[in-house]
Structure 1
């Protein structure tokens, strides 16, 4: 006779701490609480149906309480006894709930459709991904008019207590989730007559403060050693080329990652960089001779693809973001710097050269020219450098910079 599990208590659940790997605490009747290595507590049940074991998910604690999980377990056992698959019953129930005219998910999906031509694809993907991962599983099928501030605070607080892949609290995602949800509530005030409530505006004031991590970058004195290490880099060619592109242009990783071959005119040594962040226009970037040479050498590898710097695992996908590829490569070379840190290296280097090099002074290069080159928005009178006639001035500046990098790589 199988051993009966002793029912869990609320205290046991609260005291359950993450370990090196996921583990389960049985409650009885097939119900268990899976405690993941990152601290999430998920209700699971593994009953037999149709002669084999199936897995049922009942949500995450504390959003789904012990009593609620047991109720779901009992409902599943009843369906099985009637010869019904609980998974299909759950899907049918979710479909019925999502058809609620004013469900949170339904309104969010409608908002997303309305934003498609107004925001970047990257922002929209982040919005949708965040909602699907953190918000919809908890309140997606709820009528937005019934969602209260207290449960939203509990939801966002639970997100902030989770850990990201660096082991840090996910306070940033908690704030973003609250901001995204606030947009949905604002949208609901347009869609639902007489509805003006937006509890997110009060809730966000009570979330833990997000502490921005300072971008790591190497001191300029180490750039020569970095270039020599990059010359010896034995990793995937597109990763190495992407790092060079960051050095030659000072652009953000997002721009380099999604660069397409059609964006480049190598005969004219031009990169027509797509708009990023608050940009409204294509940013015309002059390319030094070294960058053109590097891109030409990359054509046999990725020239048949849409993307210039594709992932080594999938040609139609860009290389993964910094921590997955570029930052990992840099750290593998022995330098404590993120991929975004290279942008700071370029900015620092160009500003230093503009002070020291007589050739820069003769060309009329100052901080404003540098800011325009790296894509910062230049306000006021300095905005005159946005005019395309300064392209040749920036071309000379970036060639001096690329030549200087070569010199550093040879002489340290």
Structure 2
């Protein structure tokens, strides 16, 4: 059986069936992969439960800046393996500082599920230590971080998977949409509409007392110094997705949170995994919806919240018809577009039914994953371009090769200087 995001979300309470591993394996498939987890929130727990039941994979360490979270994860890992170990299990380590996990020679791979501002540093350090990496989406907090991750991963040839799971899961709806577009079912693509949330905003939350057992200074890490607030870092164990994702200092707002999924599918459908748009056109009157991204071939991609009608998270409008796709399903106008099978000799996307399963399989085969670092970086860049467009509210030209704007003010937003102790 395979597991998917729904399984992950359910897994915070119960264990899940074994991970689905794709077909291709290599001679070393019987070697155990030791995995460490960096960040133990709700998303991470889902991944953890899946890997606990994966064949020849063992979770050996967890880290989190909140004592309760890491100790709870440690307890669950130990309880799982003690039932199966028959005297051979040595226990799961639980640490505050993720660098202790990266420094361990016996750990082969890491799963990074931290807030967005804490993605780049663990990725870079893990790549330098030759650990294979699964990093949650969006890959980065800013554009420059993404290019650094790509370069570091390439140097050591680590297997890298970005957590844009719609490429693998959710019933294959997004995969089918991409194949239909790439095979010309709607003719030349004219417009894409992406329905995701608002851009990020400055953090104006009040300062609260730091709970016992929370290392707030470490949680901030490279981000600007500010006081604790439970909206950013909930006390203890929680079962929701915290709202740090709304604030510019830590993440990319709704644009990046779900945009890392939906913009990713648009890039895939346009065969732009190694490139991106060239124009950013914000809406008038400082509106926070309606920004357009224009590609060199004339395709316009619009950040536009869709109504609640089915399948309108990603809308592909072409000369011959329209495709609507969401996690709930896929439809088209005319209906025949989605009803017509894709032929054996037509274009088919990279086969994958489990995103983290694909990563595990590629660790063994040493083949590229379905969403490697370059792809994750390019998708995150789309999110950053949208946020920068809304922040500056002026038309911009972007060079996807040089990864620079035609505007000095915009170029300053490509990167952010981390706090001194976190420069690497």
TM-score by length of 1: 0.21
Name the one with the larger strand percent: 2
Name the one with the larger helix percent: 1
Larger Cα-atom Rg = 1
Higher relative contact order (CA 8 A, sep 6+): 2
